[in-house]
Amino acid sequence: IMLDNYETVLRRYMEALGASDYATIKSLFAEDGSVTSPFLGLMPAGDFFDRLGGATRGNVITPIDVFLPSGDQQHAVAYFRYDWTVNDGTLITFNVMDLFEFRSGTDKVGALNLIYDTHPIRQTAGNKYES
């Protein structure tokens, strides 16, 4: 049953990210959930998504795959293409694998690790989290 829940959470996350619906995204996390980002490091999930929302004009998410755990592991991966339009209108496109770690016995995300190559983004766009 948890595998179905994990997949539902990952798909809701991708849908909400595509809709720039950060309130829904934050609701998927445990109260003390965290995000680790290549650009911003380790942050509370709420702070991270507030920061992302503040830097974003629009998101288009193209799901590629969802990877579910084998055995009793409590993590899953959403793999998608992210077309991110930042506030100055720059479009940044990259593939990302978001590694979700779930709280034991729940479908709440305890930790999210964003895994992507920052080199092409830095080359074309610099650090777009800065205003």
Q: How much of the chain exceeds pLDDT 70, in percent?
A: 90
Q: How confident is the model at residue 118 (pLDDT cuts 50, 70, 90)?
A: confident
User: Of 36-40, 100-104, 119-123, which range is least confident?
Assistant: 119-123
- 117: Cβ–Cβ under 8 A, 6 or more apart, which residues? 94
Task: Point out the least confidently predicted range of 61-65, 69-73, 84-88.
Answer: 69-73
Mean pLDDT of the chain: 91
Q: What is the average pLDDT across 17-41?
A: 96
Q: What are the residues whose beta carbons fall under 8 Å from the beta carbon of 49, sequence distance 6 or more? A: 22, 25, 26, 35
| pLDDT above 80 for 2 | no
**Using 50, 70 and 90 to split pLDDT, how confident is the model at 51?**
very high
pTM: 0.90
Q: What SS3 state is found at 98?
A: strand
Q: How confident is the model at residue 113 (pLDDT cuts 50, 70, 90)?
A: very high
- b (16+ CB within 10 A) / e for 43-72: eebbebbebbeebbeebebeeeebeeeeee
Residue found by looking up tokens 């592991």 in the block: 73
Residue 78 confidence (pLDDT): 98
CA distance 18 to 32: 24
CA 115/CA 86 separation, integer angstroms = 19
**Cβ(49)–Cβ(59) below 8 Å:** no
How would you class 42 by CB atoms within 10 Å of its CB: exposed for 0-12, middle for 13-18, buried for 19 or more?
exposed
